[in-house]
Amino acid sequence: MRKSNPFSNFGGMKVNQQLTGVTSYVAGRQGDDELRLDALIDRIHELTLAEASPPRHSIAESVSAPSPRPMMANFISCQPDSWVPIEPDTLTAGGLTGGEGEALILKVLNSRAEATGRCLSEQLKLAFRLIDPLLQTMKQDRLVAHKGSAAMNDYTYQLTEMGRERARKCAEHCTYCGSAPVPLRDYIDSVKRQSLTSEQPTEEDLQRAFEDLMINHEMLLRLGTAINSGRGMFLFGAPGNGKTSIAERITKAFGETIWIPRALSIEGEIMRLFDPGVHEVAPLPENHSVLDSRKVDNRWIRIRRPTIVVGGELTMEHLEVSLNRVTNVSEAPVQLKSNCGTLVIDDFGRQRMTTDQLLNRWIVPLEKRYDFLNLANGTKIQVPFDQLIVFSTNLEPKSLVDDAFLRRIPYKIEVIDPDEQSFRQLMKTMAAKMEVEYDEAAVDYLLDKHYRAANRKLRCCQPRDLILQILNFCRYTKKPAKLTPENFDFAVGNYFAVL
């Protein structure tokens, strides 16, 4: 008895339909597998975020929200009083064209023998998902070639001969190959969001900012009013009373950190804004979740609110855009670097430029809160002038500038000499800080012999300076560090020799 064919019940047409169905089923299974994998990754992502942060204030929710202005840099709030820029979804949303991205990649590869796509992403501070399609296009155009494969679906790239020639032409215009620049319009928007004028420091904020200085209540009241205005101020008075120390701590009364672009793109020109010499980096807190949902735009860098101090070295060149003729990269002026912070003009009146020159340069920005800068290509641009300007001087303000300038600096605060009680308290505080034994009788001797008898005025810096002299003397002679009449005689002989 013959065994029946299992397919004998089907006709030829039915068999063809069945085979077609099997093929469709296999293809469908492959598509379903990919969808399931994507869904699984999304689910892991959601569970990680739910565990890492409260659902109502999740950073991920803010990140995933659609942007109302796709052409501008997008921002999300980390805390009620702070925000961070998020990475763009496309190059266009980040203010970059494909040609600009291509030029940056070519110049990076021209400076190296080879680089992976993720290394290029790190160098340009752009997400790999934005770099990868650009690299594939450049490979099709025979500008780059694959040298080999790399981890995580990446490749090692190197320039072709055509790409090397294109890179040389790009470098002739500008050699910059660092972080991709941010459009000027996005920077202007960020300054508005982080402006000092939007904050109103309280008395507690000022006490925290000046906690290491001895400032009386009346002085704190005057400073608080001036700082709240967000406008300029004059700090004047005798040298040694802490004008510069006060000016350097004013920024602490405001929010601690801001975000600034590493570089700006302006009318085809690139301008460096982040300066490690004056800006202090403040990295984000470490993220302990498995997946980082913050999506921070790495072209921006988080810094502490800047406090930039310039003194007698200030010239007109520091207030204008400077161009490096070798690299063709521009450097931002000092007032642009100090936006959203404090700019201290120390020893005002002793600069290499005259006060009239500074008056004519800043008389409009001080009132309008915006400035005009000239680029190397002849373009004039409008930029924010949003900082607290502090003029610190030992001279009388009226002897330096005219009434028109003084009107634009509404607050003039005199830093007066300390009284005897404050001087004694400063002496006691500095002795404890420097671990020098304090003796009230020795301080009485100092005040009687070296101040009242000599008709010498008290200054806030003198307790620190005199105790430092005694400390160094005791270390050299191997004696106990202590305030004694003999030690004070030696310190005064050095310190006031020509005063």
pLDDT in tens, 250-303: 998 888 899 999 999 998 899 999 999 999 999 887 765 544 556 899 999 999
pLDDT of residue 33: 53
CB-based contact 157:117 (threshold 8 Å): yes
Distance CA 320, CA 340 (A): 18
- Could you tell me if residue 498 is left (phi over 0), alpha (psi between -120 and 50 degrees) or otherwise beta? alpha
pLDDT band at 132 (very low <50, low <70, confident <90, very high): very high
d(CA 229, CA 254): 12
Rg, Å, the chain Cα set: 32
Residues 370 and 453 in one domain: no
Helix intervals (H) in 434-461: 440-447
Q: Do both 430 and 408 map to the same domain?
A: no
Q: What is the mean pLDDT of the chain?
A: 83
Query: pLDDT tens digit string along 196-205?
Result: 888 888 888 9
- Please state the rounded mean pLDDT for residues 12-17: 45
Give first-to-last CA distance, the chain, whole Å.
129
The predicted model gives 378-386 an average pLDDT of 93
Lowest mean pLDDT among 8-12, 387-391, 464-468: 8-12
Mark whether 252 and 381 lie in a shared domain.
yes
Q: What is the pLDDT of residue 81?
A: 45
**Does 409 reside within a domain?**
yes
**3-state secondary structure string across 348-375:** CCCCCCCHHHHHHHHHHHHHHCEEEEEC
pLDDT computed for residue 299 by the predictor:
96
Q: What is the average pLDDT across 174-191? A: 94
Residue among 292, 288, 229, 300 at smallest CA distance from 264: 300
pLDDT band of 232, cuts 50, 70, 90: confident
For the chain, percent of residues with pLDDT exceeding 70: 82
pLDDT score recorded for residue 356: 81
Give the percent of the chain with pLDDT over 90. Answer: 53
Q: What is the pLDDT of residue 287?
A: 65
| pLDDT per residue as tens digits for the range 400-411 | 877 777 887 888
94, two tokens? 């980040």
pLDDT tier for residue 35 given thresholds of 50, 70 and 90: low
Q: What is the CATH number of the domain that holds 467?
A: 1.10.8
pLDDT of residue 292: 53
Specify the higher pLDDT residue, 174 or 44: 174
* Contact criterion met (CB below 8 Å) for 179 and 124: yes
DSSP state of 75: E
pLDDT at 39: 57
Mark whether 360 and 450 lie in a shared domain.
no
Q: Which residues span the domain enclosing 107? A: 98-180
Task: Please give the Cα distance from 242 to 213 (Å, whole number).
Answer: 9
Same domain, 107 and 155: yes
Q: What is the pLDDT of residue 115?
A: 94
- Residue 229 binned pLDDT confidence (cut-offs 50, 70, 90): confident
| 429 vs 163: CA distance, rounded Å | 66
Measured CA to CA, the distance from residue 257 to residue 280 in angstroms comes to 10
**Residue 413: DSSP 8-state:** E
Q: Are strands 342-345 and 307-310 parallel, antiparallel or unpaired?
A: parallel
- Residue 206 domain-assigned (yes or no): no
The answer on 469 and 405 residing in a single domain is no
Residue 30 lies in a domain: no
Residue that has been written with the tokens 């005064």 in this structure:
492
Specify the number of domains making up the chain: 3
Q: Are residues 329 and 450 in the same domain?
A: no
Q: How far is 228 from 204, CA to CA, in rounded Å?
A: 13
- Rounded to whole angstroms, the Cα distance separating 158 from 147 reads 7
pLDDT digit string, tens, across residues 447-488? 999 999 999 999 999 999 999 999 999 999 999 999 999 999
Poorest-pLDDT segment among 1-10, 23-32, 55-64: 55-64
Quote the pLDDT of residue 159.
95
Answer whether residue 290 is part of any domain: no
What confidence tens digit (pLDDT) does each residue in 333-353 have?
A: 999 999 999 999 988 888 888
Strand order, beta sheet including 322-324: 182-183, 263-266, 269-272, 329-331, 322-324
Using alpha carbons only, give the angle 312, 318, 320 rounded to the nearest 5 degrees. 150
Lowest average pLDDT, out of 9-18, 296-305, 381-390, 485-494, goes to 9-18
Q: Output b/e per residue, 471-497; b: 16+ Cβ within 10 A.
A: bebbeeeeeebbbbeebbebbbeeeee
Token code pair at residue 445: 């001797």
pLDDT on residue 13 = 46
**Residues 378, 381: Cα–Cα separation, whole Å:** 10
Over residues 66-121, the pLDDT tens digits come to 333 333 444 444 443 477 898 999 999 999 999 999 999 999 999 988 999 999 99
Q: Do residues 444 and 346 both lie within one domain?
A: no
Q: Are residues 461 and 398 in the same domain?
A: no
Domain shared by 128 and 249, yes or no: no
Residues 424 and 408 in one domain: no
Task: Identify the CA nearest to 338 among candidates 385, 301, 383.
Answer: 385
Domain shared by 124 and 252, yes or no = no
Q: Residue 270: beta bridge partners?
A: 265
Q: Are strands 300-304 and 257-261 parallel, antiparallel or unpaired?
A: antiparallel
pLDDT of residue 489: 95
* Tokens encoding 353: 């430029």
